[in-house]
A and B are shown apart, each in its own frame.
Chain A
Amino acid sequence: MDLLRLITCGNVDDGKSTLLGRLLYDTKSIFEDQWDAVQRASERRGDTGTNLALLTDGLRAEREQGITIDVAYRYFATPRRKFIMADCPGHFQYTRNMVTGASSAQLALLVVDVRNGLTEQTCRHAFLATLLRIKHLIVCVNKMDLVGFEQAAFDRVREQFMAYAARLDTADIQFIPISALQGDNIVTKSAAMPWYEGAPLLYTLETVYVRNDANHVDPRFPVQTVIRPQDPAAPEFRGLAGQVASGVFRPGEEVLHLPTGLTARITAIHGPAGPVAEAFYPMSVVIELDRDLDISRGEMLARPNNQPTVGQDLDVLLCWLGTKPLEPARRYVLRHTTCETGCLIREVRYKLDITTLHRNQDGTPLTMNDLARVSLHTAVPLFFDSYKQNRQTGSILLVDELTNATVAAGMIR
Chain B
Amino acid sequence: MFHLQLSQLDLLEHEAIHIIREAAVQFPQAAILFSGGKDSLVLAAVARKAFAPARPPFALLHIDTGHNFPETLIYRDQIARDFGYRLHVRSVQDTLDAGRAAEETGPNASRNAIQTTTLLEAIAELQLDAALGGGRRDEEKARAKERIFSHRDAFGQWDPKNQRPELWNLYNGRKKHGEHFRVFPLSNWTELDVWAYIAREQLPLPSLYFAHEREVFLRQGTLLAVSPHLPLQPGESARRERVRFRTVGDMTCTGAVRSAAATLPEIIAEVAAARQTERGTRYDDRRSETAMEDRKRQGYF
Contacts and interface: CB of A to CB of B under 8 A. Distances in A.
A228 to B, nearest CB: 7
B25 A3 contact: no
A261 interface: no
Contacts of B17: 272, 284
A349 interface: no
B53 interface: yes
B83 interface: no
B5 interface: yes
Contacts of B4: 211, 214, 216, 248, 278, 280
A59 B170 contact: no
Nearest to A237: B53
Interface string B44-72: 00100111111100000000000000000
Contact of B165 (A234, A278, A396, A409): A409
Interface in B236-279: 274-277
Given A75-B137, A335-B172, A395-B167, A59 B8 contact: no
A321 B165 contact: yes
Contacts of A284: 14-15, 17-18, 21, 50
B160 interface: yes
B287 interface: no
Interface in A216-241: 216, 224-225, 227-231, 233-234, 237, 241
B126 interface: no
B169 A392 contact: yes
Nearest to A70: B145
B293 A225 contact: no
Interface string A349-366: 000000000000000000
Contact of A225 (B14, B24, B187, B290): B24
B161 A59 contact: yes
B277 A34 contact: yes
Nearest to A59: B160
A350 to B, nearest CB: 23
Nearest to B141: A58
Contacts of A58: 140-145, 293
A245 B54 CA distance: 23
B167 A99 contact: yes
A151 B283 CA distance: 51
Contacts, number: 172
Contacts of A33: 276-277, 280
Interface string A22-50: 00000000011110010001000000000
B82 interface: no
A231 B22 CA distance: 22
Contacts of A228: 54
A59 B145 contact: yes
B21 A225 contact: yes
A372 interface: no
Contacts of A241: 21, 50-51
B77 interface: no
Interface in B203-259: none
A406 B165 contact: yes
Chief secondary structure at chain B's binding surface = loop
In this complex, the member of B8, B50, B168, B290 whose beta carbon has the largest number of chain A beta carbons within 10 angstroms is: B168
Given A59-B145, A100-B166, A32 B18 contact: no
Chief secondary structure at chain A's binding surface = mixed
Interface residues of B, number: 62
A73 B168 contact: no
Interface in A276-319: 278, 280, 282-284, 286, 297
A375 interface: no
B172 A399 contact: yes
Contact of B293 (A60, A69, A283, A338): A60
Contacts of A3: 8, 11-12
A31 B293 CA distance: 20
Given A73-B188, A224-B25, A283-B14, A2 B168 contact: no
Nearest to B143: A58
Contact of B144 (A32, A74, A272): A74
Nearest to B196: A1
Contacts of A336: 170
Given A59-B142, A60-B293, A224-B21, A104 B168 contact: yes
Contacts of A75: 137-138, 188, 190
B165 A1 contact: no
A121 interface: no
A1 B24 CA distance: 30
Contact of B167 (A37, A59, A338, A409): A409
Given A227-B54, A282-B15, A70 B160 contact: yes
The 10 A-B pairs with the shortest beta carbon distances in the complex, nearest first, are A58-B141, A229-B54, A3-B8, A284-B17, A103-B167, A33-B280, A404-B174, A406-B164, A31-B277, A284-B14
Given A227-B51, A241-B50, A284-B21, 7 more contacts: A2-B7, A59-B293, A224-B21, A270-B52, A278-B4, A397-B170, A404-B175
Interface of A: 1-3, 31-34, 37, 41, 55-61, 63, 69-75, 77, 81-82, 84, 96, 99-100, 103-104, 211, 214, 216, 224-225, 227-231, 233-234, 237, 241-243, 248, 270, 272, 278, 280, 282-284, 286, 297, 321, 333, 335-336, 338, 391-392, 395-397, 399, 404-406, 409
Interface of B: 2, 4-8, 10-15, 17-18, 21-22, 24-25, 46, 49-55, 137-138, 140-145, 160-161, 163-170, 172, 174-176, 187-188, 190, 192-193, 274-277, 280, 289-290, 293-294
